[in-house]
Structure 1
């Protein structure tokens, strides 16, 4: 029995144990309050009321938010059940080396969103300082704001949750104030927010516009739906709970209730802002409608919201991915720094109009990964995972030189379809990714590379919190550490 260091075994990526799960239902809901206040949410509302009445925009937003929230919870069970992060579990459908390719794309997208949101927040911070001290240097504000966010994230998930607990009540109160201010401005302009539409459409055009609003809400959060396990692994859940809904109760409250309420309210603010001043950006609109200390308080909400969004939705996923790529010598805090550097180097302030469409296309392509994860985790493995082998360089997830070709082929199929059917990208990408992976993996790839949890479907061996297990991974690889002797290729054929 030989021992050696293993690049798959970074302590920051080991399964989170039950006592390390610190985020409760209210804490996760507050995290969502901050995450959902982003410029893209305002844009969805502003675009929606150009074709549809506000009531229909709200209805479409609720449908889209509920749907993507459910997908998030479904994929997030990987973190709840086994304590695994997104890039670690991706070793199952993509291989121990192959996981890096889709993961890096997601990490790059998250880093870019960090840069965009930090730029948005830094302009608001610059506005506050200009009001108070006549200070005007947005780039210095950007550097300071980025540094504070990265430090907050590097301190760990508990520090992120504490900031969300502090910021969420202020965000809620200021958002209500913002809505009332914009509504009054719309009335002054002679526009009733519930009936005004810039260019009304009817018939099939109205149906298309309605579906676009649904898909816009889903597509924007599709990337987070894929890597939700990186956050959900820290969410509290009861041991020995076999009921899926009870086990994921805290996750459901955040992903379904808090996301839907906050997302819908932000879309409404963007819509009312557009109705009042023909600009969905509430910061611009409120600069027209407010001044002095009132404007400063409203700008403070933008700063707090971008901070809360970035730490949870962007920096944590990106840092986890970069730590996985770098191995044991590249800890989580180094991944945090890498996310900040990449997000800044893309210069979001000069490429703003180009970056957002590119990232939304990227999100559509990545939606196929949500389908692949669903098929691998639920349909094929039935939630049973040979977790020790996810950290074993020579284990069952090594496949062909570290690559699972079924995952890559399914990703190409789903991602390509999502790209060409952009208005329905999430649904198309998910379905084609899931269906193609299911057949390719079950009836081709896993016949070549048998999987222990498929051959011995024992819950006590391969489930996590449901059977009260905390997965323990040794930092030094022990080559004979598999639950039972390694299976030779083609030794056992799957049904």
Structure 2
């Protein structure tokens, strides 16, 4: 199997000794990732019909549910060290994986462009305040290059920046809350009581549900490709308890994400209450000036930077590297993501891009359901990892395509599209159910899977069985036997 286009070293399973991110490091990454303009928008839209307290409660519910789904899918990276596009070869085929993966990669790239644009406007505001310089496009180019270089150095460089950015973001967020609250009170609006157009009864319940699913739908895309990040998270060998094995991921997904997202929702709500605009850049320019404004805008720059590197550039780069094969290393994928995200000119298309990307996010929730059904319900977490890297292995299916996966994605995506208010759960449920039925009772009857025919933990589990999966660049390897478990 020499020269296999599936065998790119950047996409090989991450071994136990190379998993360097602990619970603190992953939590700081989440603090950075969760500070994005769309989060502020949810808060701003929420206080139009509900008090801030109800918006906060809905956000906590939505982010806890999202964190749970992210942790579920993240076990693929924890258990086997596999990235999102590589594992997608199982439910979609070695060729079929490129269709949904590229959709996700393009989505991540577009979000990179949008976040870089808003970061560049904040950077331009700082320079304008301090020096009189005023050219947001030059700021955009410089800001994009710095982010891409940071990501190209790998996951540890991203984590190191998150360690720096997280405390700055927290401190400035608290300062921002106080500044905007004072501005709101100056207009006679108490931030926890004021509502623009209060609703009651069924309308209030609907508004509450919309906030919940807005938070869930926003992170649907990362719930799908979280293995690309979770494969670097530390986990104990021979640990059969799911919660103990995923404890470092749980701290980030179930604690850091809900806390950070909720605080950003609060800031978005307070921004809208203070100046009738949830965009914190606009709100701060009205609420502060001089050196204080420059410091506050610095949070926006750090926030977009830390969000982009972990949540957008890494997933997109891994996907583009998978599409290009061994000739497209990770760093090339990083700059490809930056180019794609910039050529769409997000500064001109923002009003169109954001609704489009949120719709695509809902459609991608079907992939989360398909991954759940394939990994947990059908394979029971056992994976024939070596064949994921073989041109003519069991995942080649029909010309490299798993029809059951593509059909299920279509079914789940259409269901999510026509029920946008509940898109995440609808897409997840429809995708999972369709895939389970089609794959288990039809497709895998035609294309037998080794881990289903011989459901051996010793052969097909990863870190639980103490195994580091190793892939040879040359000839097809013989599957290794896992060492005996030490209880």
- The answer for the alignment partner of 2:20 in structure 1 is 22
CA distance in 2, matches of 1:156, 1:4: 27
CA distance in 2, matches of 1:160, 1:5: 31
Counterpart secondary structure, 2:348:
coil
Q: What is the number of residues matched between the two proteins?
A: 481
Following TM superposition, where does structure 1 have runs of at least 4 consecutive aligned residues deviating by more than 2 angstroms? 480-484
- The answer for the alignment partner of 2:359 in structure 1 is 361
The one of 406, 409, 415 aligned to 1:408 = 406
Alignment of structure 1 residues 380-419 onto 2, 5 Å: 380-419=378-417
The one of 176, 181, 184 aligned to 1:183 = 181
Alignment of structure 1 residues 456-471 onto 2, 5 Å: 456-471=454-469
The one of 421, 442, 445 aligned to 1:447 = 445
Alignment of structure 1 residues 48-447 onto 2, 5 Å: 48-447=46-445
> Which string of whole-angstrom CA distances, capped at 9 and with x for unpartnered residues, describes residues 297-316 of structure 1?
01100000000000000000
Shift of 1:477: 3.7
CA distance in 2, matches of 1:421, 1:339: 30
CA distance in 1, matches of 2:480, 2:255: 40
Counterpart secondary structure, 2:347:
coil
CA distance in 1, matches of 2:407, 2:345: 33
CA contact (8 A) 1:110 1:317 kept: yes
CA contact (8 A) 1:406 1:445 kept: yes
Counterpart secondary structure, 1:398:
coil
CA distance in 2, matches of 1:4, 1:67: 44
CA distance in 1, matches of 2:222, 2:317: 14
Shift of 1:289: 1.0
Shift of 1:481: 4.1
- The answer for the alignment partner of 2:44 in structure 1 is 46
CA contact (8 A) 2:165 2:302 kept: yes
> Which string of whole-angstrom CA distances, capped at 9 and with x for unpartnered residues, describes residues 144-190 of structure 1?
00000000000000000000001100000000000011111111110
> Which string of whole-angstrom CA distances, capped at 9 and with x for unpartnered residues, describes residues 449-492 of structure 1?
000000101100000000110000001242x74689xxxxxxxx
CA distance in 2, matches of 1:483, 1:468: 12
Shift of 1:203: 1.0
- The answer for the alignment partner of 1:488 in structure 2 is none
CA contact (8 A) 1:5 1:477 kept: no
TM-score (normalizing by structure 1): 0.96
CA distance in 2, matches of 1:171, 1:138: 22
CA contact (8 A) 2:2 2:473 kept: no
Consecutive unaligned residues in structure 2, runs of 5 or more: 482-487
> Which string of whole-angstrom CA distances, capped at 9 and with x for unpartnered residues, describes residues 76-120 of structure 1?
000000000000000000000000000000000000000000000
CA contact (8 A) 1:126 1:135 kept: yes
CA contact (8 A) 1:60 1:213 kept: yes
Shift of 1:133: 1.2
- The answer for the alignment partner of 1:491 in structure 2 is none
CA distance in 1, matches of 2:297, 2:479: 55
CA distance in 2, matches of 1:289, 1:270: 14
Please state if 1:7 is matched with 2:2: no
